[in-house]
Structure 1
C-alpha cells in the first residue's frame, strides 16, 4: 500500500478564527464547513484543516509545521501583525536558521531558512 498526505488537522477551540490567520499567512481562501470545521488549501501545502474541540490546549503540540521563508525576521513580523507570538529569537546552526512562533491558539510552528 502506498499512502499520501491528504491534510493536516489541527484541534482548536475556534476553527473559523484560526483558519483566517493561517489563510492570510500561507495564502489560499478560508473555507468554513459543516460541523464547525474549517480548512485552507494554501499553495504548496496539503490542506490545513481545523477541527473544533471543546478543550483548550494544555501542553506543547507534538508535531509542528516548518515553513520555509527567505527572511525569517520579515515572516515573523508579518505573523505577529496577524496575531502570532514569537518565542525567543532566531536560532542558527549548521543546518540553517529557525524561529519558533505561536499561532493565535498557541500552536507552535517555525519559520525556517536552510543553510546557504
Structure 2
C-alpha cells in the first residue's frame, strides 16, 4: 500500500467566500465538488487539492496547521491578500533566508507568505 497526501481540508462558515479567496490567491480552479463543499483542483492533480468544508461555528483560536505560500515580493503579496479580503495579522519574521509574514483569509485562517532571498 502506498500512502500519499491528496489534500488539505479547511472548515468554513462561508465556504463560497473562503474558497473564492484561495482560488484567486493561488490561481487554482474549482474542481468537481460535493453539494455545499468546494474543492480546488481535481483528483490526480500534481498538487494536493484544497477542500472547503461547511461548518456551523466560526474559527476559535490559532490554527495548528497552516499553508505557506511563496511570493516573489512580500509587499505585493500582502497587498494581493488584503485586496482579496484577507488581512495581515501584524506578525513578521525576518531571517537570513528570507521573510515570513502571517496573513489570514476572510474567516481568519492564518497562513504564511514567504519571500525567499
TM-score of the pair, normalised by structure 1? 0.88
Secondary structure class of the residue paired with 1:80: helix
Call closer, same or farther: CA 1:102–1:94 in 2, change over 3 Å. Answer: same
- 1:1-116 aligned within 5 A: 1-31=1-31, 33-41=33-41, 45-88=47-90, 90-114=92-116, 116=117
Count of aligned pairs: 115
The structure 1 segments of at least 4 consecutive aligned residues displaced by more than 6 Å after TM superposition are none
Deviations 1:30-82 (A, max 9, x none): 34733311011298741100001111111111000011111111011011000
Q: Distance in 1 between matches of 2:75 and 2:10?
A: 25
Aligned-CA RMSD value: 2.0
Unaligned 5+ segments in structure 2 are none
C-alpha contact 1:16 1:32 (8 A) present in aligned 2: no
Secondary structure class of the residue paired with 2:8: strand
Unaligned 5+ segments in structure 1 are none
TM-score of the pair, normalised by structure 2? 0.87
Q: Distance in 2 between matches of 1:12 and 1:45?
A: 21
Q: Distance in 2 between matches of 1:50 and 1:108?
A: 15
Secondary structure class of the residue paired with 1:34: coil
